[in-house]
Amino acid sequence: MTAARVGPWEIVRPAGKGGMAEVLLVRGLEGRFAGREYALKRLLPALEADGDAVRLFSAEAELSRHLHHPNIVEVVDVGREGNSIYMVMDFVDGRDVGQIIKRCRQRKVQWPVDFAVYLTRALLDALDYAHGATGPTGAPLGVIHCDVSPSNFFVSRTGELKLGDFGVARSLIEGGADQVMGKPYYLSPEALDGHLSTHVDLWAVAVTLYELLTLQRPFQGKTPEAVFEATRSLRYVPVRELRPDVPVVIDELLTRAFSREQAARFQSAADFAQALSPLYDERVGTPLAISAVVRGLFGASD
């Protein structure tokens, strides 16, 4: 029996499915990819005739193939099979940070502060690169991820930390800056008003750090509108009220990151990362240590 394939990729098994696309675990059949496993993402068949869905997916593929950084899921191939566009990317064998936070809540264990800071620093390194990325001609791409959240940041079994899913990313160079997409809990006040800049991503990083430390989101509500109101009014519980062992300096850092005025916040991912660097013990917060704890949380077969 001939194995199912997509272009030069053999399908191993389904690996996931979302509202717009499915992900397959595939194995390379040719060239330098032969025998190696990757994740193949393609539009769901029902959306192959949807012009908007095709344009969005094509834009993700075009943008992602220019991004090459250790903390970003790398796209290694983009192709077409019949009416379906697909992209092939790193397969991160592990868990996303959203799953980790959920498991910590279930087990009533706190995620270590050093690990939270280290993960956030790696996420900021990925964004610092993406925000400054250039295309083949050297011209800036003007990338803004627009959907930074724990569910889009991955920890592999071997300690790799990677930001993925540039599906709603925007390029300021190409326009389209007035349409902001993303998960309600992670949108900044100005994003809610349709203003797009790299501050959108930095705000989402701060929300992610808060969530790693407290296992809950800072801005809450039973409806998206209630979440938006809490975000606009900056109504949240300071970290140390929920977790007193968090150093005061981290609470102060988050207060700055959630400032009402953009000018009072961190002005770049690099600035944010530099402020975090002294706040974790690099002998404790390491990728391998984090991956070991993740394996402990989920078990060998879970």
Q: Quote the pTM value.
A: 0.90
Of the pLDDT bands very low, low, confident and very high (cuts 50, 70, 90), residue 181 is: low
If we measure between CA atoms, which residue out of 138, 191, 133 comes closest to residue 166? Answer: 133
Residue with tokens 């790299």: 198
Determine the distance from the C-alpha atom of residue 177 to the mean position of all C-alpha atoms in its chain, rounded to a whole number: 20
Quick one: pLDDT at residue 172?
53
Q: Is 66 exposed, middle or buried (0-12, 13-18, 19+ CB in 10 A)?
A: middle
Q: CA-CA distance, 276 to 204, in Å (whole number)? A: 16
Summarised one tens digit per residue, pLDDT across range 225-274 is 999 999 999 999 999 999 999 999 999 999 999 999 999 999 999 999 99
Quick one: pLDDT at residue 61?
84
Active site residues: 147
**Residue 31 CA: distances (Å) to CA of 28, 35, 36, 39, 277:** 8, 9, 10, 17, 40
pLDDT of 176 above 70: no
**Sign of torsion over alpha carbons 108, 233, 120, 36:** positive
Of the pLDDT bands very low, low, confident and very high (cuts 50, 70, 90), residue 1 is: very low
Quick one: pLDDT at residue 256?
97
Phi, psi of 213, rounded to the nearest 5 degrees: -80, -35
Summarised one tens digit per residue, pLDDT across range 72-130 is 999 999 988 887 889 999 999 889 999 999 999 999 999 999 999 999 999 999 999 99
pLDDT of 167 above 80: no
